[in-house]
Every structure is written in C-alpha cells, then in structure tokens.
C-alpha cells in the first residue's frame, strides 16, 4: 500500500514523502531543508532518494541541501542544467530520461515528458511490488499518455491567467 504525506503543495513550495512501507522517497523538494527535516522528524537518512519533476524553485529549493545530507537526486539533464551550483555533490545526481524506466529500492519509476515552461520537465509513474501504481504530474497543461491500473493519482497545478497569456505570447504554451 502506498502512503503519501504532503509536506507542501502550491506556489510557495512542493514536497511529498511517499513510501510503500519499504522504500521512502521524496517527490520534489521545493521547501526549505529545515521544513523537510522537521517533517521527516530529522530522519533524512531513511530516504532512498528524491525525484524532481523540473527545476523551478518551488520544486527544487532544497536539492543542494539534500545532496549534502547524502540523498540521491533523480532528475532530467535539462533540470540539472537549470539548477546552478550543484558543484561538489554532483555524484548524488542521477540523470533520468522520459520513457526510460529505472528502479529505486522497491519502486519502479517510469518518467514521461510533460509540457511546462521549464527545461525538460517530467511526470512519473511509480509502481511497487504489491501492484500499486501512483501517477504524479505537476505544472503541466496536458498529459499525452494513457495509464492503466492506477491506484493513486497526484496532480498539482496552479492557474494564473497573466502568466498563461505571457507564455502563449512567448510561444512557450500553445493557445487553446
């Protein structure tokens, strides 16, 4: 069974702890490291990793701090390039690609491309050995894939008409 604990969701930060009872992960780390540590009851070493959808700070704020604490980070090359100053902790970076499945502990993770004004944003299908499937997508206006047998769906999004209009004018988002 999948357990989801939201630490934060919204424009000020996104961070979720998920576990299947055997392998705990963070989805996003867009809040301060102090807030993450407090929510984890300072058990950061129990984490098997942190998966990032994209590099905007409301999703990646604590990435460098987590790497300093020894947490492996899973993200696209575009997201890694978008986050500056990863420096001496680069060995904690695991580059992942859309439609290339990988494993973290008892989780099988299938990243998929999403549409967002970020460098190489991803969504994720996470499956555990019990047959549970979690779909996670954030800050995207469209998911082009179909997923079957889902037991959990996490979608986080914000709507701001002014940002949408600006992004349509800039060609970052297709008009409806």
Residue 175 lies in a domain: no
Q: Is the overall model pTM greater than 0.75, yes or no?
A: yes
Main-chain phi, psi angles of 37, to 5 degrees = -60, -45
Q: Which residues pair with 75 in a beta bridge?
A: 95
Contacts of 13 (CB under 8 A, 6+ apart): 30, 31, 32, 35, 58, 61
User: Tens-digit pLDDT profile for the chain (176 aa)?
Assistant: 999 999 999 888 999 999 999 999 999 999 999 999 999 999 999 999 999 999 999 999 999 999 999 999 999 999 999 998 888 888 999 999 999 999 999 999 999 999 888 889 999 999 999 999 999 999 887 889 999 999 999 997 766 778 778 888 888 777 86
Kindly report the CATH number assigned to the domain that includes residue 45.
3.60.15.10
Q: According to the model, what pLDDT value does residue 149 have?
A: 96
Supply the range of the domain harboring residue 92. 3-169
Per the structure, the count of domains in the chain is 1
Q: What do you get for the CA distance between the two ends of the chain, in Å?
A: 38
Assigned domain for 174 exists: no
Inside any domain, residue 70? yes
Distances in whole angstroms, Cα of residue 64 to Cα of each of 44, 54, 153: 14, 14, 28
pLDDT of residue 135: 98
Contacts of 86 (CB under 8 A, 6+ apart): 63, 64, 67, 80, 93
φ, ψ dihedrals at 116, nearest 5°: -165, 160
């Amino acid at each position: 069974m999948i357990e989801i604990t939201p630490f934060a969701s919204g424009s000020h930060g996104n961070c979720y702890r998920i576990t299947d009872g055997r392998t705990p992960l963070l989805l996003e780390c867009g809040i301060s490291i102090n807030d993450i540590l407090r929510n984890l009851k300072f058990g950061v070493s129990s984490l098997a990793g942190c998966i990032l959808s994209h590099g905007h700070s409301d999703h990646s704020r604590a990435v460098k701090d987590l790497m300093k604490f020894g947490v492996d980070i899973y993200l696209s090359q575009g997201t890694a390039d978008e986050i500056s100053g990863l420096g001496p902790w680069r060995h904690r970076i695991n580059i992942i690609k859309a439609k290339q499945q990988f494993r973290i502990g008892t989780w099988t993770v299938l990243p998929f491309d999403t549409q967002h004004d970020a460098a190489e944003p991803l969504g994720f299908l996470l499956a555990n050995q019990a047959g549970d499937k979690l779909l996670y997508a954030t800050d995207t206006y469209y998911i082009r894939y179909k997923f079957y047998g889902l037991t959990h769906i996490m979608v986080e999004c914000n709507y701001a008409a002014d940002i949408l209009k600006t992004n349509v004018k800039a060609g970052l988002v297709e008009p409806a």
